[in-house]
Each structure stands twice: as C-alpha cells, then as structure tokens.
C-alpha cells in the first residue's frame, strides 16, 4: 500500500506483520527530490500495482502552486526487497520548465504481456503553459510501460498542451471487445471531458478513428495553445460538452437565476477547450467532471461499458501577477498562486446564492454504452440532492460522482453516492489546497 506521506508499505497478507526484507522493516520512503512547500504537496492516493514481481507506484501532487513543481516520476520497486528497479519521468523536458504529469489515479496491468498502463496528468501549472511549449508529451496520456524495466512501449495523448486541468483521473480499463471487425484486446480510457478513447493494447493506436479538430484560440499573453485537440468519432461523448444560458437551472427564485446567468454571461465561453482568461472562462465539463477517480467498468458478456459522470460548471479566471500578491479570493473560490507564471488563478463551481449548482440536473448520472455500435443505451441519475436542495427534499437530481461501478452476472450494476455536506475548510491555505468541503461515507445505490 501507499500512504499520504509518500511511503510504500509491505505487510504479510496472513498475519499483517511488516515484511522485514522489504525496504527498512517493511516500508520505504519515496525519494522525491527537491523541497516540498508543505508535507502534503506530494502524496500517494491510489494503490500501487504489482506486476511480474515489481511494485509500481504513482503520486498525487498539488495543482496550481508553482511552475517548478515536483516531477511526476513513476517508480518500480522489487516486490521482495523494495530496491528501486526503475523510474520513468512522464514529461519530455527538452526546453520546458514544468513538473507534474504524475499518475494519481489507479493504474492497470496486463500480466501476460508484462505491461502496466498509466493515466498521466497535466503538467504544472494547470492553467498557464507558456514555459512548457509544445504538446508536453507524455502528459495527459495513456502510457504503456514494461513492468519489469519501465521501458516505454507506447503513449497516446488525449489532450495536447493542457491548460484546463483535463488530466486523466481514471484507471485504464482492460477489456476484450467485439469491434465489429473481430475481437480485440483493448485499453478503454474515459476522461473528464466525457470522451471514451478505445486503444489497441499492443500498439496504443485507436480502434476507431480519432480526429484532430480545431479548438478555440487567443490565449493570454505568453500562452502557446495547440491549434487542435483529439476527438473520438465512433463512441459518442458520455455527456454534453457545451453550456449556455439555456442550460441554467431555473426552478429557484429569480435572484438566484439572475446570479447564475450573470456568471455565465460575464465569462468567456467558446465551447470545449476555451482557453483560460483574465476575463474569466467557463469550463464545461468542469475540471472534476465527466468520468473521475472511479473509472469505468466493462461487461464482457453483454459488451457494455458503464461509467459514472459528473455535471457542473467551473469558472476559472487568471489573475495578473501584479494583482496576485495579497489577492483575496471571493467566498467559495479556490486560489492557486501558480508561482513562476505571469498569472495566478481562481476557480469556483458556478452556484446560485442558495448554493445550488447553476446547471440543470442531472448533476451525476450513470451511462451505459454499446461500444461496438457506438451508441449510448441509457443514462440514469445517481443520488438524491437532499444535501443541496431547498428544505432538504430528496429530489432525484443526482450528485457529483467520483466512485466506481461494479457489474454482476445477475444483471445488476452497483455504484455509490458521494456527497459533500460538512465541516468548513481549514484557514491554512497550504493544508486547504484543493479541498472543497468534506466527504461523507458513500451510500450504495443498486
């Protein structure tokens, strides 16, 4: 197992006693390199993967703190001794200044092929990339490495030069699917944008065409945006990717509706991949939206993919460096200093004065997809909104979903509800970084 203070711990499965031959009395500490701003800037948030006698470990690194953030190095340790067998740095560092591209989500492994599949994240900082020109290979990518050596086998990038925090937050799903032209071993990668990329497991090439399409340009000074982004053409997006005034949630008082409309109208909103701006940019799906930590599940008998999706609008604004010192974020807005960049940032979920999401429900939904046909079979709200709704009424509006899905042979699909209901955040900005309320225990919902 991994820990929040960057240790890897090995226990005897039968007794729970630390394995004396692994590291120092059953544990080892990752050598991060460089100085952390605070101990929690670097953590391990997902379980290590064990493949062919190697324990493979990723990391979670705080976003939007600084340009020269810690590197997102992936490490492979001998499963018996804890000795470092290999390390792999996701970013190609020719001429760029950046860190991250870490692997904070779960990884997958194919024992027969001796491959481990990594979902990498965005480079640092998330919302300005002027010091990291180019596409930033192998950030925001599905990456296949040799489990025993860390050798790069292939990489497929889902976002070029990410400035939207559209990292890969979900485990790559390994499946044997009917493509319509025969059975194939594939890697299925869902994204925050609601895309589903289906890649050949041996080569990383898309099973169905992926098009490079033009996306909005005119970023802030010093930015070097990619003119295109990859769009899958066969499997439809699992959720809408555009937002307008017509999509504002209306069943609450006029002052609330007007406040939401004002937030939307005052923001730059040119559709998916609208670049961050000093005006303020609307990002939908939000940076925590689409498919998140829980990933997707595949039914090999009925050949159906299931995934949870979250719906909300993020408002991101870049703050010029001259205004960033001593900057006081409005209530409910996260502040990221992005030290070393000409802009800091603020980010907030668009809500009414009553705390209700500005976008129409569902706010969380499970989606079932026929991959072969390229067709969404159904979409169902998951969770009730008594924690957010007026008078605590349990409307079937769905809730934000970061949880996974379990499929049974009996035809039931299980998931859970995730809510944020309690405890104000700590006043310490370092300890509070990235936090948005607290998480109550998940409730299973078949």
Per-residue pLDDT at 379:
96
Q: Report the pLDDT value the prediction gives residue 354, as an integer from 0 to 100.
A: 81
What gap in Å lies between CA 233 and CA 296, rounded to an integer?
A: 19
pLDDT in tens, 93-121: 888 999 999 999 999 999 999 999 999 99
CA distances from 226 to 137, 162, 181, 219, 230 (A): 13, 9, 33, 10, 11
Q: Which position among 63, 126, 140, 165 bears the catalytic label?
A: 165
Q: Which residues of the chain have pLDDT under 50?
A: 421-446
pLDDT at 420: 52
- Specify the pTM: 0.91
Determine the pLDDT at residue 255. Answer: 66
423: CB partners within 8 A, 6+ apart = 437, 438
* Nearest partner of 415 among 431, 398, 429, 427, judged by Cα: 398
CATH of the domain spanning 1-168, picked from 2.40.128.630, 3.65.10.10, 1.20.1440.230, 3.90.45.10: 2.40.128.630
**One-letter-per-residue 3-state SS of the chain:** CECCCCEEECECCCCCCECCCCCECCEEECCCCCCCCCHHHEECCCCCEEECCEEEECCEECCCCECCCCECCEEEEECCCCCEEEEECCCCCCCCCCCECCCCCCCEEECCCCEEEEECCCECCCCCCCCCCCCCCCCCEEEEEECCCCCEEEEEECCCCCCCCCCCCCCCEEEEEECCCCEEEEEEEECCCCCEEEEECCCCCECCCEEEEECCCCCCCCCCCCCEEEEECCCCCCCCCCCCHHHECCCCCHHHHHHHHHHHHCCECCCCCCCCECCCEEECCCCCCECCCCCEEEECCCCEEEEEEECCCEEEEEEEHHHHCCCCCCCCCEEECCECCCEEEEEEECECCCCCECECCCCEEEEEEECCCCEEEEEEECCCCCCCCHHHCCCCCCCCCCCCCEECCCCCEEEEECCECCCCCCCCHHHHCCCCCCECCCEEEC
Yes or no: say if 128 and 336 are a contact pair by the CB < 8 Å rule: no
Report the phi/psi class of residue 228: left, alpha or beta, with left for phi > 0 and alpha for psi in -120 to 50.
beta
Predicted local confidence at residue 332, as pLDDT: 85
Q: Give the per-residue pLDDT at 435.
A: 36
Given a contact cutoff of 8 angstroms between Cβ atoms, the answer to whether 391 and 375 are in contact is no
Our answer to whether residue 165 is catalytic in this structure is yes
List where CATH 2.40.128.630 sits in the chain. 1-168
Other C-beta atoms closer than 10 Å to the C-beta of 385 total: 23
């Amino acid at each position: 197992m991994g820990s929040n203070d960057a240790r890897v711990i090995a226990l005897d499965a039968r007794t729970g006693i630390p394995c004396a031959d692994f590291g120092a009395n059953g544990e080892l500490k990752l050598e991060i390199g460089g100085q952390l701003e605070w101990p929690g800037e670097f953590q391990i948030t997902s379980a290590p993967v064990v493949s062919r006698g190697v324990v493979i470990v990723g990391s979670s690194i705080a976003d939007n703190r600084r340009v020269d953030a810690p590197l997102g190095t992936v490490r492979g340790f001998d499963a018996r001794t804890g000795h470092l067998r290999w390390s792999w740095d996701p970013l190609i560092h020719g001429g760029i200044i950046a860190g991250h591209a870490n692997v904070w989500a779960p990884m997958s492994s194919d024992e027969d092929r001796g491959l481990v599949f990594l979902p990498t994240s965005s480079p640092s900082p998330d919302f300005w990339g002027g010091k990291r020109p180019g596409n930033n290979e192998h950030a925001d990518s599905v990456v296949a490495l040799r489990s025993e050596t860390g050798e790069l086998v292939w990489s497929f990038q889902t976002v070029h030069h990410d400035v939207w925090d559209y990292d890969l937050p979900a485990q790559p799903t390994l499946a044997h699917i009917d493509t319509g032209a025969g059975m194939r071993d594939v890697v299925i990668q869902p994204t925050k944008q609601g895309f589903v990329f289906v890649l050949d497991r041996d080569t990383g090439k898309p099973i169905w065409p992926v098009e490079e399409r033009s996306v909005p340009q005119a970023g802030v000074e010093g930015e070097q945006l990619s003119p295109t982004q990859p769009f899958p053409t066969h499997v439809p997006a699992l959720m809408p990717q555009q937002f307008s005034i017509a999509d504002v949630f209306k069943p609450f008082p006029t002052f609330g509706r007007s406040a939401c409309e004002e937030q939307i109208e005052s923001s730059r909103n040119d559709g998916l991949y609208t670049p961050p701006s000093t005006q303020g940019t609307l990002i939908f799906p939000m940076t925590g939206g689409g498919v998140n930590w829980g990933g997707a599940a595949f039914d090999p008998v009925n050949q159906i993919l299931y995934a949870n999706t979250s719906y909300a609008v993020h408002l991101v604004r870049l703050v010029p460096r001259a205004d960033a010192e001593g900057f006081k974020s409005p209530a409910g807005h996260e502040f990221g200093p992005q030290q070393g960049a000409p802009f800091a940032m603020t980010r907030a979920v668009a809500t009414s004065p009553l705390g209700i999401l500005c976008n129409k429900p569902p706010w969380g939904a499970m989606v079932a997809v026929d991959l072969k046909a390229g067709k969404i079979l159904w979409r169902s709200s998951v969770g009730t909104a008594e924690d957010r709704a007026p008078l605590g009424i349990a409307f079937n509006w769905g809730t934000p979903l970061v949880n996974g899905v379990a499929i049974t042979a009996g035809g039931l699909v299980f998931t859970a509800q995730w809510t944020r209901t309690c405890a104000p955040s700590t006043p310490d900005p370092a300890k509070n970084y990235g936090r948005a309320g607290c998480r109550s225990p998940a409730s299973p919902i078949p």
